[in-house]
Amino acid sequence: MTDDSCVFCKIVAGEIPAAVVWDSPWAVAFLDINPAAPGHVLLVLREHYEQLTAVPGSLLSAALGELPKLAQAVISATGAQGLNLLQNNGRVAGQVIPHVHFHLIPRNEGDRVTVGWRQGTYETPEEMNRMAERIRAALAGA
């Protein structure tokens, strides 16, 4: 599955250049062209799926099998103190390229990277329980 208008499909196909650091039958990893921090890597599925929810679990398992090794390589190569793994789904969640990919962002004390949210609360324990029940029910119906 590919999409002719998709920049990541073109990189996977070798039609446009990228600084590739790793590849497998299921995924390709290359440097983000506008990095949050030097060494910011994108792990991109070879097949074109717009969002994570569409990806078969077996494909995802295979594609992510070497993620710990890739993360360690990014940390070792950059000397980072930590790393964020991010995956955006939908424009509202910050997804710009609609082809499933994972960001590996090296982190250091005092860096310019911002990843965060203001923590909320549930009004009551019942409200929290109801939400958990809705998600369990959705899973049971899936």
The site for ligand AMP (CB under 6 A) is made up of 7, 18, 32-34, 42, 88, 94-97
Residue 34 contact, options Zn ion, ligand AMP, none, Cβ 5-8 Å cut-off depending on partner type: ligand AMP
- Smallest distance, Å, CB 124 to ligand AMP? 35
Residue 64 or 75: which CB sits closer to Zn ion? 64
Is 101 a residue of the active site?
A: yes
- Smallest distance, Å, CB 134 to ligand AMP? 27
Residue nearest to Zn ion (CB): 6
Residue 9 contact, options Zn ion, ligand AMP, none, Cβ 5-8 Å cut-off depending on partner type: Zn ion
Q: Write a three-state SS string for the chain.
A: CCCCCCHHHHHHCCCCCCCEEEECCCEEEEECCCCCCCCCEEEEECCCCCCHHHCCHHHHHHHHCCHHHHHHHHHHHHCCCEEEEECCCCHHHCCCCCCCEEEEEEECCCCCCCCCCCCCCCCCHHHHHHHHHHHHHHHHHC
- Smallest distance, Å, CB 59 to Zn ion? 14
Residue 96 or 138: which CB sits closer to ligand AMP? 96
Lateral strand order in the sheet of 20-23 = 20-23, 27-31, 41-45, 101-107, 82-86
Q: Annotated catalytic residue: which of 40, 48, 99, 101?
A: 101
Residue 71 or 104: which CB sits closer to ligand AMP? 104
- Give the residue numbers marked as catalytic: 101
